[in-house]
Chains A and B, each alone.
Chain A
C-alpha cells in the first residue's frame, strides 16, 4: 500500500509540475490543483498509513491513526480551495481585461495601447 500511495503522490506531483511550466493560466491553475491534491495526500501519509484504525485514543486500543495530520489536511484543503478560487477570479479578471492569458512577462506589457488582436 505504501508503494501505491507513494506512486500516486509522485504521479500527481509530476503532472502538476509539468502543467505549472505551461505559459497560460488555465493549465497552470490545473497544475496547482494537482499539486495541492498531491500535498494533501502527502500530509495524510506523514502520520503513517493505518487501515481501519480510529483516530481517538481509548484504553483498550492497540492501533490508532494519528489524528494530527488529518487536522492539518483539513486546514490545508480549505486554504488551497480558497486560494484556487481567488486565483481563478484574478486570472479571469486579467484575461477579460486584456484578452491575454499568458502569465509570463510579455514585452508589450507596459505599452499604453492594447495588444493587437490575433486573427
Chain B
C-alpha cells in the first residue's frame, strides 16, 4: 500500500494552516510556500498518474481498515488524470494570481487556495460517496471565501446566490445519500456497485429516487440546464484567477457522473433503467444550445465566458450522456481541453479588466498591452469555439463521431454544429468590439492609468496556451489513453476487486463465537 496516494490531500491540508499561522503578515513567504506546495503537487500527481497508467488501481485504506467498513482512497486512471489536470491548472492560476497581485488584494488568498485544492483533489480520489460529500463541502467552503476575495458589493451579492444555491445542492446530496444508505446499506462506491445488482425488480422505488437525486446534485455541480443559474453571475463576479480555478469545479460534477453512472448505476442496470440514460441527453443538448446563445447575447466579456463554460459543459455532458465507451473517451478528452480553455479565457478577461478598466462590450479606446492580450484572446476563443487547428475542434469531432452511431444522431449533430456557429459569431463579435474597434477611437486627452499585464501574468496565460497546443499535438496519445480508460470504466472489475479484495484490519479471520 503506497502512502503517496493521500499526499495530494495531506499536503494542502497541512500547508494551509501553516500559511495562516506562520506567515499571515508576509505575502512573499505565503507566495513561496503556496507555490512550492503546488509544484510538489504537480510532481506527485504526475507520479501517481504514471503509476496507474498501466491500468492498475492504487488503494489507500485510512487506518488500515478494510473497505467497506473503513474509508478508502482510490486512484485509478480517471482519478489520477483529474488530479494531474487540477494540479497543473492550479500552478498556472497561482502564477497568474501572484503576477497580477490579486492574492494581495484581500487576506488569506493562499490558505483558501490550498484548502480549495484539498477539496477538489479529495473529491477526485475518494472511493466513498459520503466522503465525496465531505470533500465537496471542503472545496465549497473554500470557494465561498475565494469567490468574495477582496470584496465589493456586486461580488458579495453574487456570493450570496452562489452559497445558497450550493447549500441547497448539499442538502439534496444528503437526501440522496440517506436514501442510498437506507436501500443498500453502504456508501462505498465499489461495495454499492455490487449491492445494487442484488436489488430485486419489485423494490426499486427507493434506489431509483436516490439515483435521480444524486444525478441532480452532480448536474448542479456540472451546471447542466436547468440547474445552471448559479454559474453566470458567480463566475463573472469572482476575481479572475479564482474564476479560472473554478473552471475545474464544473468538471467535478462531470467526473462524479462518469464515476457513479458507469460503475454504480451503469446504463444496463435494470433497477435504474430509463432514468439518466434518457433524460441526461436532452438536458445536455439544451445546455449546449443555451450556453452558446448566451455567448452571442452577452453584453459583458466575463458573462460571455461564463456562458461559454455552460456551453462547453453541455458538450461534455452530451458525450457522457451517450453512456458508451466512445462517448466517455471523447468527453474526457474534451474535459481536459475545456478546463484549460476556460481558465485561459478567465485569465484574459482579468487582464482586460485590469488594463482597460471595464469588461463591457462597448467601444473604448485601445488598452495597454493590447497586442499581447488580443493575441491570447484569439487563441482562447478559437479553442473554446472549437475551430481548427486547436483541441476544441478535435474534441468536437470526437463527440460528433461518438454520437454518429446512436439513434439521436440528428439531434446531436444539429445542436453541436449550429451552436458552434453561434459561439463563433459571439466570440468574433466580442473580439472585434473589444480589440479591433478600439483602434478607431481617439484616446482621451488624459488617459487613465492602467498598467499592461505583468510578465508573470503573461507567462501564466502563455503556459495555458502551450498546454492547449500540446493537447492538440498529442491528441492521438491523449485520446488513446482516454479510450483505454473508458474501457476500464465500463468494466470496473479491477477497481471493485482492488477495493473490496484488499485485506485490512477487519478482514483477518477470527474464531466465530457468536451465533
Residues of chain A touching chain B, judged by Cβ–Cβ distance below 8 Å, are: 20, 25, 28-29, 32, 35-36, 39-40, 42-43, 45-48, 59, 68-69, 72, 75-76, 79-80, 82-84, 86-87, 90-91, 93-94, 97-98, 100, 103, 105, 109-110
Contacts and interface: CB of A to CB of B under 8 A. Distances in A.
B178 A39 contact: yes
B382 interface: no
B354 to A, nearest CB: 18
Interface string B166-177: 011011001101
Interface in B491-515: 513-514
A90 to B, nearest CB: 5
B304 to A, nearest CB: 14
Contact of B178 (A20, A42, A94, A100): A42
A68 B134 contact: no
A110 B154 contact: yes
Contacts of A48: 182
A68 B181 contact: yes
B167 A87 contact: yes
Interface in B120-148: 130, 134, 137, 140-141, 144, 148
24 contacts: A20-B168, A28-B164, A29-B164, A35-B168, A36-B174, A42-B174, A43-B174, A45-B182, A46-B181, A59-B514, A69-B178, A76-B174, A79-B137, A83-B140, A86-B163, A87-B160, A93-B151, A94-B160, A97-B153, A98-B153, A103-B157, A109-B154, A109-B233, A110-B154
Contacts of A46: 178-179, 181-182
A94 B171 contact: no
Contacts of A32: 164, 167-168, 171
B188 to A, nearest CB: 11
Contacts of A40: 174
A86 B174 contact: no
Contacts of A43: 174, 177-178, 181
Tell me if A's interface is mostly helix, strand, loop or mixed.
helix
Contacts of B156: 90, 93-94, 97-98
A94 B163 contact: no
A42 to B, nearest CB: 5
Interface in B337-386: none
Contacts of A75: 130, 134
A103 B164 contact: yes
Nearest to B300: A110
A103 B161 contact: yes
Nearest to B157: A94
Given A46-B181, A98-B153, A80 B141 contact: no
Contacts of B141: 82-83, 86
Given A36-B171, A46-B179, A87-B167, 8 more contacts: A32-B171, A39-B175, A83-B163, A90-B144, A98-B156, A103-B157, A103-B161, A103-B164
B266 interface: no
B159 interface: yes
Contacts of A79: 134, 137, 170
A29 B157 CA distance: 14
Contacts of B163: 83, 86-87, 90
B182 A98 contact: no
Nearest to B69: A68
Q: Which of B164, B175, B177, B514 has the most CB atoms of chain A within a 10 A radius of its CB?
A: B164
A25 B159 CA distance: 12
A69 B185 CA distance: 10
A54 B151 CA distance: 49
Contacts of B153: 94, 97-98
A100 B160 CA distance: 12
A21 B178 CA distance: 24
A63 B144 CA distance: 44
Contacts of A91: 160
Q: Which of B163, B174, B513 has the most CB atoms of chain A within a 10 A radius of its CB?
A: B174
B144 A86 contact: yes
B16 to A, nearest CB: 16
Q: Which of B170, B179, B513 has the most CB atoms of chain A within a 10 A radius of its CB?
A: B170
A108 to B, nearest CB: 11
Given A32-B167, A90-B163, A109 B157 contact: yes
Contacts of B160: 25, 87, 90-91, 94, 103
B175 A42 contact: yes
Nearest to A36: B171
Nearest to A84: B167
Nearest to A106: B157
A98 B160 CA distance: 13
9 A-B pairs with least C-beta separation: A94-B156, A46-B182, A46-B178, A97-B153, A39-B174, A98-B153, A46-B181, A43-B178, A87-B163
A99 to B, nearest CB: 10
B149 to A, nearest CB: 12
Nearest to B180: A46
Contacts of B179: 46
A59 B510 CA distance: 14
B189 to A, nearest CB: 16
A80 B167 CA distance: 8
A111 B106 CA distance: 24
Interface string B201-219: 0000000000000000000
A68 B184 CA distance: 13
Contacts of B151: 93, 97
A46 B144 CA distance: 30
A84 B163 CA distance: 9
Interface string B474-497: 000000000000000000000000
A31 B143 CA distance: 22
